[in-house]
Amino acid sequence: MTLSALADPTRRAILARLASGEAYVSELAEPFDMSLVAVSKHLKVLEKAGLISKGREAQWRPCRLEPKPLRQVDDWLESYRQFWNDNLDRLEAYAALLQQGEVDEPST
């Protein structure tokens, strides 16, 4: 669910904003060219995904970023890090060979 919550650019912008500190719903909505209701729904999606939590302060709902799901995305990426490092290694090895004149450069 985390990834689909992260798939929307508005929601990612909200998270970016929250990375620099708590904010109320209406503060979060301010930069966007859409209704407050729409932003409120985005926040609900983020909340269901555990990416944010909401407190209560009178009629305000201070929102804050929750690290756990993002950390899980990071963990999920772990298996692929191996993969792209391998690729990088091959590229570097190849570049080193080029340097030594061991292989011809591709014509394209």
Query: Among DNA, a second copy, none, what does residue 6 contact (CB within 5–8 Å per kind)?
Result: a second copy
Q: Is 48 one of the binding residues for a second copy (CB under 8 A)? A: no
Per DSSP, 68 falls in state H
Does 106 help bind a second copy (rule: CB under 8 A)? no
Amino acid code (one letter) for 96: A
Residue (44 or 71) nearer to DNA, CB: 44
CB atoms within 10 A of CB 43: 21
Query: Which residue type occupies 34?
Result: M
User: For residues 27 and 76, which CB has a smaller minimum distance to a second copy in the complex?
Assistant: 76
Residue 10 backbone class (left: φ over 0; alpha: ψ -120 to 50; beta: rest): alpha
5-34: contacts with a second copy (CB under 8 A): 6-7, 12, 15-16, 19
Given 33, 37, 56, 79, the residue binding a second copy (CB under 8 A):
79
d(CA 31, CA 14): 10
First to last CA, the chain: 43
Q: Which residues bind to a second copy, rule: CB under 8 A?
A: 3-4, 6-7, 12, 15-16, 19, 65, 67, 70-71, 73-74, 77, 79-81, 83-84, 87-88
